[in-house]
Amino acid sequence: MIQITHKNSTLRKAIAQAIVKVSLPETIQAIQEKTVPKGDVLECARVAGLFAAKRTADMIPDCHPLPVEYTSVSYEIQEMEVRVLVEIHTVYKTGVEVEAMHAASVVALTMYDMLKPIDKGISIEQIKLVEKKGGKSDFKKLSEKQLTAAVIVCSDSISSGENEDSAGRMIAEKLKSYGIEIDDLEVIPDEKILIEEKALIAVEEGIDLVIFTGGTGLSPRDVTPEALSDILEQRVPGIEEAMRSYGQQRTPLAMLSRSVAGMIKNSLILALPGSPKGVVESMDAIFPAVLHVFKAREGTRHD
């Protein structure tokens, strides 16, 4: 199965359909009047759909087992067909599109099985996804403007040439994948005054996103949080909490991180860990949803 441990759990919804076409008007009448010899077709098929929704991972090899937290099976009965609609919700790391289509298919097959003694011309058609919500696809376009970013690596050893930067380059690549233009990628030593200067210069230049990496630990030279806290106009603790919570699910050492997030004018300032692993996890925790900050600054509603 595909790796999903890096993903966040969010509310996921999917609606799928299947159409059961009959060849006799009497078949629809028998469904509605509940005179089909095998029983109440709509209710039996509904129960089958509920079972199918929960057993999808047992049938489709690449589907992840997930908690199905809501399932609805409804019908639209027309002159010569029944449209089956299945809606499924979950709060998880991956979507429920296949679960919804699987359930719709089983509902339709159950109807076929129950109706075939009275109608030999039944067909099942148009099994497809009607709608899906949730996951990163809902947050791809969270700002109308072209966003710019500056990435600043805080490290004595990298700035002196003793070590090579990887965390800064990882951040830059991640930002590019979201269509963000990298204005600057710079390495500086762990100096409080220098960190403050770089942040304020980037803000004055109109950079939307200023990301520092490194200096968020507990060593005597780790001063990035202190430097930024002194100049931030608004802290955004929810961003900080999201990064630590995400990391804590993967390593207990995440509780020692002192990542910082806040605003100076209209620029979002982030201080991320200096390790490549910490950087990747922090970025996965908050992107792309964090980009809604820029719409919020314009007065856009959260819905």
Residues forming the active site: 113
> Of 53, 61, 64, whose CA–CA distance to 89 is shortest?
53
Place of tokens 């937290």: 69
Residue with the two structure tokens 């979950």:
90
| C-beta of residue 207 within 8 angstroms of C-beta of residue 175 | no
Which residue has tokens 């980009």?
Answer: 291
In 3D, which of 215, 214, 210 has the Cα closest to residue 263?
Answer: 210
- Give the pair of three-digit tokens for residue 40: 């109440």
Other C-beta atoms closer than 10 Å to the C-beta of 237 total: 10
Buried b (16+ CB within 10 A) or exposed e, 285-303: bbbbbbbebbbeeeeeeee
Report phi then psi at 86, rounded to 5.
-120, 125
Residue labelled with tokens 């009607």: 130
Tokens of 161: 């040439």
Q: Please say whether the beta carbons of 269 and 198 come within 8 A.
A: no
**Rounded alpha-carbon distances, angstroms, from residue 143 to 182, 186, 260, 288:** 16, 25, 22, 10
At 6, which amino acid appears?
H
Distances (CA, A) of 269 to 10, 151, 232, 278: 25, 10, 8, 17
How many other C-beta atoms can be found within 10 angstroms of the C-beta atom of residue 153?
A: 22
Distances (CA, A) of 88 to 49, 64, 111: 11, 15, 20
- Here the tokens at position 55 are 């057993």
